[in-house]
Amino acid sequence: MADRSILITGASSGIGAATARALAAPGARLALHARGNREGAERVAEAVRAAGAEAVVLMADLTDPAAPARLVAEAADRLGGLDVLVSNAGFADRTPVAQLTDEAFARSQDTILWALLRLARAAGPILARGRDPRLVAVSSFVAHNFRTDSTVFPASAAAKAGLEALVKALALEWAPAVTVNAVAPGYTQKDAGAHAALDPKAWEAVLTRIPMRRLGLPAEVAEAIAFLASAKAGYITGQVLHVDGGVVV
């Protein structure tokens, strides 16, 4: 990652924070986005700097239609260009369809799917001028998980499924200049004190469906993202890499 400029959305905690730490290296320049948790993003920035990389924290609410383009422009200006975009910001919503309001459904689409589209439209021309440019989006196993014996996340699933389709379309449209891929984490351990989508009893049931018999770690997902963002993944595009311990969906 030396001498590469990297923008990571949702970088204040969880997978985004772990990705920042995984990509931090002497000579790398990282823009760490957060919606409201500036304190968390600043802590991640300190860790990035300790690893020898440069780091700036940028705040934006990606549900604002104009915010993604402003974020990309500011990141490119502060970093001197853009070589890697990691679209990670998102959240889980398990509201059943019968109770799912238009506003709640739209919030998932805005934060996950529309944010990727708006980020990509703004970043595409800049990435095309970058050094070994990459776009990596974070999807989720919930886009594939529709079982009667597990929790379903309708709004999140719809947004993440759309994200995966958009990744494939972008990969085709941007080839050969920019590779575009996604990582789909399974059940992943949350940061201490962070909101959990399931209660403790539900988490116990989840483990019976994971062949590895444990939750994934944010750092394990981050390593997959780091690989797809690296020069080693130069002939991989339009793919969804599942990092889920073999979870049965």
Length of the chain, please? 249
pLDDT of residue 249: 76
pTM score of the predicted model = 0.94
Rounded distance between C-alpha atoms, residue 16 and residue 218, angstroms: 8
| Strand ranges (E), 109-211 | 134-138, 179-185
pLDDT of residue 100: 94
pLDDT of residue 61: 97
> For residue 189, what are the contacts with CB-CB under 8 A and spacing of at least 6?
215, 216, 217, 218
Structure tokens at 206: 């989840």
Q: For residue range 105-117, what is the model confidence (pLDDT) as tens digits? A: 999 999 999 999 9
Assess whether the previous peptide bond of 176 is cis (omega < 30° from 0).
Answer: yes
Q: Which residues pair with 137 in a beta bridge?
A: 87, 182
pLDDT of residue 211: 93
**Segments in the chain below pLDDT 70:** 192-198
pLDDT of residue 205: 79
User: How far is C-alpha 61 from the chain's CA centre?
Assistant: 15
Q: Are 25 and 53 in contact (CB under 8 A)?
A: yes
